[in-house]
Structure 1
Amino acid sequence: MKNTFIPFVFSFYCLLLLGLTQNIKASNEAYTITYQRIPAFPPATFDSELIAPFFKKYPKFNSFKPEVIKLYKKNEYQYLWYDSRGINEFASLLHDKVNNLDQEGLHIRVPYQEEIRDIFQDLEKREKSNVEVELLMSSLYFFYANKVFKGLDVYKTKELGWYLPRKKQSYGNRLDSLLQDPSLINEPDKELLGQYYQLKEALKDYRNMEKHGGWSAIEFPKKTKSLKPGDTATAILKIRNRLFISGDLKTDSKNNLYDKELLAGVLKYKERNGYAADSLLLLKHIKNMNVPVEERIKTIMLNMERCRWISPSITKNKQYIVVNIPSFTLTYFKDGKPALISRVVVGKSMNKTAVFSGQMSQVVFSPYWNVPSSILRKEILPAIAKNPYYLAKNDMEWVGNRVRQRPGEQNALGKVKFVFPNSHIIYMHDTPSKKLFELEQRAFSHGCIRVARPRDLAIKVLEDDPNWPIEKIDAAMNRGVEKAYNLKTKIPVYIGYFTSWVDREGQVNFYDDIYGHDVKLAELLFTD
């Protein structure tokens, strides 16, 4: 008997090769056959040998060559930036993003900007797949990702004194997601610290202030030491307007009287600019208000750049400590919220506190102070030469060829220190010099960090340890006998340098560039 199955399979297979499906509809013993087109061809590919000539023609993108090669190897040299209609949606979105890099706080020139612009103006290049266009778009993507998400390379940041660990990123994997859903490029990215996006909003606000003329310079009244509530002066009109423009006042009454409304604005301004919360307006405050809006914009951009260097994963730790040097502030975060905020004293300009991270592993109660060799050589030995009783007077003693200060009221480390081993030999500690915490500018140490609330910090650090009730902590701090305790769980410590920061209330704060780090970074970012 003739086998009819094989011809049937063969016919059906032929239909599949033609990309056809058959839908048979019955109607009054007649059949209507309709066909639906199914994509039958694999995505277009290009010759891998064309990559090397491309980078010879476009050498400014050469640093991205390894990433481009890796990208296309993974995708078997398929076109990524074209679909059936030509250049895809993500290519257009990327082009738009690159044309607006200033919104990301970047002041840079885009390589081959004219050539890339021509792609989107040339109908033929947009509609027909082109290897050069394909590789230009991939290179442009890596350029964009490098500038927006990575920032300056690690070697340059270390030259700037930044030793916080840099994040590792895979921009190729991110591209896979963006090609699937191009709208993701407009969403906050998990690779950037949340603070970056808050500063980005602040940048938008300050650029809007700039667009409307910024603020006028204020002339402080001659022969006047201060302005206080109840005073009247022409300068108060400009101060009021200045605070209205920057959002510290809701309205501008155009009144030259220093009234309660103005006082509220002054206190808000002082709070977010690192000043003592009092009612007096001094010349230094007016000088600060006179900083042009253009300079404030640059400061925000500099700190957006610093945000690129930090992994957002740090905020996922159950507990961690952040010290911001310019604001002279320590914040201990627990379960995502500030559990303790303390003023700190940091290193003076000749003994800068380093920007780095460590793991707090030990609390030392009633500590000895082992005098660093540099302090011994520069300060202690000359003091001994002048006064042979200097060591006894300061409760110090020789231990071999080193000097240490005994635990007690005079001890430079106070009653407790917090150790996070590091090559910079920096730790946090108490101090007998409490009055320094009352000052606005608190850069007085040899590099270590003095804490205004050391007892509270010790209690917070040990509050989950049943071996350390508050009474035992107090006793250990005041016993006068050194006792070191190793923490059961190490606590990450991050010492950073941010001269602009948006707080939890959404207020943008500005702080003095006490070490000149902004100046050096600006030379790299704003030099054409």
Structure 2
Amino acid sequence: MKKIFLMAVLCITAAHFTSCKKKDAADVETHEHDEKMIALDTNGFSAFYERYPDYTPYKKQISELYKKHPHYIWHEKRGLIEFAEVLYNRVNQLDDEGLPSKIPYKSTLDDLFQDSGRGERPNVQSELLISAMYFYWADKTLEGLPTEQRQQTGWFLPRQHTDYVAYLDTLMQEPQKIKGDKKELFSQYYNLKKGLQKYREIEKKGGWPAITLPEGTKELKEGDSGDAVAQLRTRLAAEGYLGKDNKSATFDKELNDAVNAYEQSHFRTYANKVTESIIKELNIPVTERIKTIAVNMERCRWVPTSIDTQKEYIAVNIPSYRLRYVIDGKPELISNVVVGKDANRTVIFSGNMSYLVFSPYWNVPPSIAEKEIYPSIAKDPNYLAKHNMEYYNGKHIRQKPGGNNSLGLVKFMFPNTNNIYLHDTPAKSLFTENDRAFSHGCVRVQKARELAIMITKKDGGWNEAKVDKAMNAGKENSYVLKKKIPVYLTYFTAWADEKGNVAFFDDVYQRDESLATLMYTK
């Protein structure tokens, strides 16, 4: 009944946004002058911003709103429309969105919505307060930090801005969307939101204990016993990797399986021993994990929502050192990657892969030549010959195609000003390391051959033999894609599945804390 009532109210009192019957443009224009609409005196707008300066950033949007709808939006003759209360309730739940819950002029808004605002006579101040509250909500939950602040954290992945004046029309038509509009945010956001709820429940139950290794002990393994083992069991049970905590101080197979599950969820190979590095990670307090989830929910607001509808794309997550090649919503290939070391950070941005280069030359960047190659030549005049390198175009240096080429046997090009691309590598051993930030900025792909086969097969009908021939041709040759593939280089230190189970990754470029500061500092 409440839903029917809400829709009836919207059809009657907010009909300037929508109609319960289909109407042509002339009907809509006539309806704008319907006698149910309450005229709005715009002379009080300036006084509103003087009284409520924290809402000044939304001045332009508010003006656009009332230029489009020059009458009261949130009021009917008997008081506030029901959707105003729905919006107010969502604003009071910002904490569920991983956001600071300090709402501008909250006490004034609380007074306004006392008893659901029934009997609140239309006035400019209350009308503008609700509109400002709407833009504040949309700005925080859907848009996130402004572009300049995103870039301060190293994020250059563009996101198209939403017209929140037009979006209010949509919400008036479909009010249920205010509880979670899957078209407005990257789908990972909703998975992390479930994770946020899960970890807050853990926090309410007291979190988890720290694991303290006995002096002189560097690891735990199956068969060991002691307080540290019991602490490890309690810790894993708290996060859900064990069904229950039986308090046993013996490291048995059940506990070993739980540690293995923990390591697998973080995309690591478990060596059947709990090392100091694992314990250090497990000892991170639940409050810090909650903050990490909130920070990554903010990053989700910056991701173009089109990624969820892309038929085909490649995504690299820098902290997890993983690449996913997604086709029709399913990851068809997952590969370990090596990313830029701290001094040569891989940039967070997007591009469109347009061609592949087989048996590539490696044109040594001037910065690398200056710092590494020229000093090596000074020490050994035969350095270039030993590394299959040569001069070209004067002072420039390049490495010839071949199995020892630093780019391996194939590179994947999505032209960009950062001069970053995906490529193969002869240094395969690095992919077995847990920490894989070693490159000069480009992304080394462990399954480069498999990726090349999948891309060329889908795009041009190539087979494995044809790819292998191109990779081992000994001379550079290119394959131009008929259809470009979007590539996203991202930075998520927390990633959740559809059930809200969260995997956390090292903040390799130390960006979480600065982002949290931007989020929680007015």
Secondary structure (helix, strand or coil) at the match of 2:183 reads: coil
- Decide whether the 8 Å contact of 2:364 with 2:399 is kept in 1: yes
CA distance in 2, matches of 1:337, 1:209: 31
Give 1:74's aligned residue.
68
**CA offset at residue 273 of structure 1?**
3.3
Task: Provide Cα deviations, 1:468-494, integer angstroms capped at 9, x if missing partner.
Answer: 222111011112111012111110000
Secondary structure (helix, strand or coil) at the match of 1:493 reads: strand
Q: Does 1:352 align with 2:360?
A: no
Give 2:497's aligned residue.
503
- Decide whether the 8 Å contact of 1:428 with 1:448 is kept in 2: yes
**CA offset at residue 231 of structure 1?**
1.5
The aligned amino acid for 1:323 is V
1:319 pairs, out of 312, 317, 321, with 312
The aligned amino acid for 1:489 is K
Which range moved further: 504-513 or 260-269?
504-513
Secondary structure (helix, strand or coil) at the match of 1:70 reads: helix
CA distance in 2, matches of 1:474, 1:241: 51
Give 1:15's aligned residue.
none
Q: Does 1:249 align with 2:242?
A: yes
- Decide whether the 8 Å contact of 2:459 with 2:483 is kept in 1: no
Within-5 A mapping of 1:63-102: 63-75=57-69, 77-102=70-95
Q: Does 1:462 align with 2:446?
A: no
CA distance in 2, matches of 1:416, 1:505: 38
CA distance in 2, matches of 1:228, 1:402: 53
Q: Does 1:481 align with 2:475?
A: yes
The aligned amino acid for 2:318 is I
Which range moved further: 262-271 or 333-342?
262-271
- Decide whether the 8 Å contact of 2:229 with 2:249 is kept in 1: yes
Which range moved further: 372-381 or 221-230?
221-230
Task: Provide Cα deviations, 1:81-114, integer angstroms capped at 9, x if missing partner.
Answer: 1124311111112212112211110015211111
**CA offset at residue 181 of structure 1?**
4.3
The aligned amino acid for 2:120 is E
Give 2:186's aligned residue.
193
Q: Does 1:221 align with 2:214?
A: yes
Greater Cα radius of gyration, structure 1 or 2: 1
CA distance in 1, matches of 2:59, 2:226: 63
Secondary structure (helix, strand or coil) at the match of 1:464 reads: helix
Secondary structure (helix, strand or coil) at the match of 1:145 reads: helix
**CA offset at residue 466 of structure 1?**
4.0
CA distance in 1, matches of 2:159, 2:116: 42
Secondary structure (helix, strand or coil) at the match of 1:426 reads: coil
1:259 pairs, out of 245, 252, 267, with 252
Give 1:365's aligned residue.
358
Q: Does 1:435 align with 2:407?
A: no
Secondary structure (helix, strand or coil) at the match of 1:198 reads: helix
CA distance in 1, matches of 2:267, 2:288: 17
Secondary structure (helix, strand or coil) at the match of 2:458 reads: coil
- Decide whether the 8 Å contact of 1:119 with 1:125 is kept in 2: no
Give structure 2 stretches of 5+ with no counterpart: 1-32
CA distance in 2, matches of 1:527, 1:278: 42
Q: Does 1:182 align with 2:152?
A: no
**CA offset at residue 124 of structure 1?**
8.2
User: Normalised by the size of structure 2, how large is the TM-score?
Assistant: 0.91
The aligned amino acid for 1:297 is I
Within-5 A mapping of 1:158-177: 158-177=151-170
Give 1:236's aligned residue.
229
CA distance in 2, matches of 1:339, 1:68: 46
- Decide whether the 8 Å contact of 1:415 with 1:431 is kept in 2: yes
CA distance change for structure 1 residues 291 and 468 in 2, over 3 Å: closer, same or farther?
same
CA distance in 2, matches of 1:255, 1:354: 47
CA distance in 1, matches of 2:242, 2:501: 13
Which range moved further: 138-147 or 219-228?
219-228
CA distance in 2, matches of 1:472, 1:123: 69
Which range moved further: 127-136 or 147-156?
127-136
- Decide whether the 8 Å contact of 1:274 with 1:510 is kept in 2: no
The aligned amino acid for 2:423 is H
Give structure 1 stretches of 5+ with no counterpart: 1-38
Which range moved further: 41-50 or 253-262?
41-50
- Decide whether the 8 Å contact of 1:154 with 1:166 is kept in 2: no
Task: Provide Cα deviations, 1:369-399, integer angstroms capped at 9, x if missing partner.
Answer: 0000000000000000111110011010000
Number of residues of Structure 1 aligned to a counterpart in Structure 2: 489
Give 1:379's aligned residue.
372
**CA offset at residue 505 of structure 1?**
6.7
The aligned amino acid for 2:264 is E
CA distance in 1, matches of 2:476, 2:125: 70
Give 1:330's aligned residue.
323
1:154 pairs, out of 107, 125, 147, with 147
CA distance in 2, matches of 1:299, 1:280: 27
Task: Provide Cα deviations, 1:25-79, integer angstroms capped at 9, x if missing partner.
Answer: xxxxxxxxxxxxxx9833111112222221222111111111111111111x211
1:392 pairs, out of 361, 385, 398, with 385
Give 2:508's aligned residue.
514
**CA offset at residue 126 of structure 1?**
4.3
Give 1:36's aligned residue.
none
The aligned amino acid for 2:40 is F
- Decide whether the 8 Å contact of 2:341 with 2:438 is kept in 1: yes
Task: Provide Cα deviations, 1:482-521, integer angstroms capped at 9, x if missing partner.
Answer: 1012111110000000000013675311000000111211
- Decide whether the 8 Å contact of 1:328 with 1:346 is kept in 2: yes
Give 1:297's aligned residue.
290
